[in-house]
Amino acid sequence: MSERRDVEFVSGDATCAAWLYRPDTPSERQPIVVLAHGLGGVREMRLDAYAERFTAAGYACLVFDYRHFGASGGEPRQLLDIGLQLEDWASAVAHARTIDGVDPTRVVLWGSSFGGGHVLEAAARDGRVAAVISQCPFTDGLASALATPLITTLRITPLAVRDIVGSLRGKPPVMVPLAAEHRGVALMASTDALDGYLGLQPPGSAFSNEVAARFALAITRYFPGRAAKRITAPVLFCVCDPDTVAPTKATLRHTAKAPRGQIEVYPYGHFEIYVGDPFEHVVADQIAFLERTVPLT
């Protein structure tokens, strides 16, 4: 059995909570995979499943929650800020490089959905990561916005404006759901969003299906896929087709520009990839990629 313990690291003005996984046969200078979730997601939403597989294959893992979410610090709660989350990635990587027994030259970034976009930008900025795994990645804010039902956009926009104005006056955030039924009021309102997203929560989870509405006006200006062409490390792109949240066509356009990219397209939906046979298929490919690009010895 691998070892998992609770750890934390400082990021900006708060502390990020994390799990540190160690393989049961650790090496002197082992590679480490740093993992974080997507839009509003927390560690308990299936990231432990990936970390357990990677650790069983011999890799240490650091799985963290962004500030303002999960067990991490930061006020107000459920505030999704792109700049702050990229700072959290930089802090997580810096912390991973200081962990006893870890080889600081063999740090791998793993992100899914919105986190799958973050790892592209984070890797490009860092310039020293050993490899990247980007699963069902959010790469193009405009494409994702255009995929959102028009009625959803029209209903969320006034809430986002009200949230921004309220924040300037020191008021609590105006919240919107992260996932809702098709054409509902939420950041994700596709046909598979509500059941798929909430289905990732373990029984008894205290997960909060909401986020500060102001984020809805920021998402269209974020294009992490553009960073792919600046990443010198090997990148595995696990792309869903069709993908109702991160449109496949836009994703493939960006991923094709990665100098050392490996693109795998799977016939699974955006939320299917985390569970059951799709999970088994994809995680096996990810382990094979790790063993090829960042071998244990």
* Average model confidence (pLDDT) across the chain: 96
Q: Is residue 194 part of a domain?
A: no
What percentage of the chain has pLDDT greater than the value 70? 99
Across 11-20, 82-91, 201-210, least confident range:
201-210
Domain assignment present for 228? yes
pLDDT in tens, 187-242: 999 999 999 999 999 988 888 999 999 999 999 999 999 999 999 999 999 999 99
Q: Are 59 and 290 in contact (CB under 8 A)?
A: yes
Q: What is the pLDDT of residue 206?
A: 81
For residue 292, the model assigns a pLDDT of 98
Q: Could you tell me if residue 250 is inside a domain? A: yes
Kindly state whether residue 64 falls inside one of the protein's structural domains. Answer: yes
Q: Which domain holds residue 59?
A: 3-146+223-293
Task: Provide the pLDDT confidence category of residue 28 given band limits of 50, 70 and 90.
Answer: confident
Q: What pLDDT, on the 0 to 100 scale, is given for residue 122?
A: 98
* In contact, 129 and 107? CB cutoff 8 Å: yes
CATH of the domain at 127: 3.40.50.1820
Instruction: Kindly state whether residue 258 falls inside one of the protein's structural domains.
Output: yes
Question: Smallest Cα–Cα separation from 297: which of 4, 61, 50, 25?
Answer: 25
- Rounded Cα distance between 236 and 264, Å, is 8
pTM of the model: 0.97
pLDDT value of residue 25:
77
Share of residues in the chain with pLDDT > 90 (%): 95
Token digits for 164? 């921004």
Residue 79: the pLDDT is 98
Does an H or E element contain 30, and which? strand 30-36
Confidence of residue 62 (pLDDT cuts 50, 70, 90): very high
pLDDT value for 203? 86
Distances (CA, A) of 270 to 137, 183, 209, 295: 9, 17, 18, 29
How do residues 68-78 score in pLDDT, each as one tens digit? 999 999 999 99
Q: Is residue 218 in some structural domain?
A: no
CA distances from 264 to 79, 241, 273 (A): 32, 10, 13
Let me know if residue 138 belongs to a domain: yes
Residue 81 pLDDT exceeds 80: yes
Mind spelling out the 3-state secondary structure of 78-121? CCCCHHHHHHHHHHHHHHHCCCCCEEEEEEEEEEECHHHHHHHH
Per-residue pLDDT at 93 exceeds 70 = yes
In the prediction, which pLDDT does 120 show? 98
What pLDDT does residue 205 have? 82
pLDDT at 204: 82
pLDDT of 27:
67
Does residue 211 fall inside a structural domain?
no
What pLDDT does 1 receive? 57
Can you tell me the mean pLDDT for 257-285?
98
Number of structural domains the chain divides into: 1
Q: What is the pLDDT of residue 90?
A: 98
Q: How confident is the model at residue 26 (pLDDT cuts 50, 70, 90)?
A: low
Confidence of residue 297 (pLDDT cuts 50, 70, 90): confident
The predicted structure's pLDDT at residue 2: 75
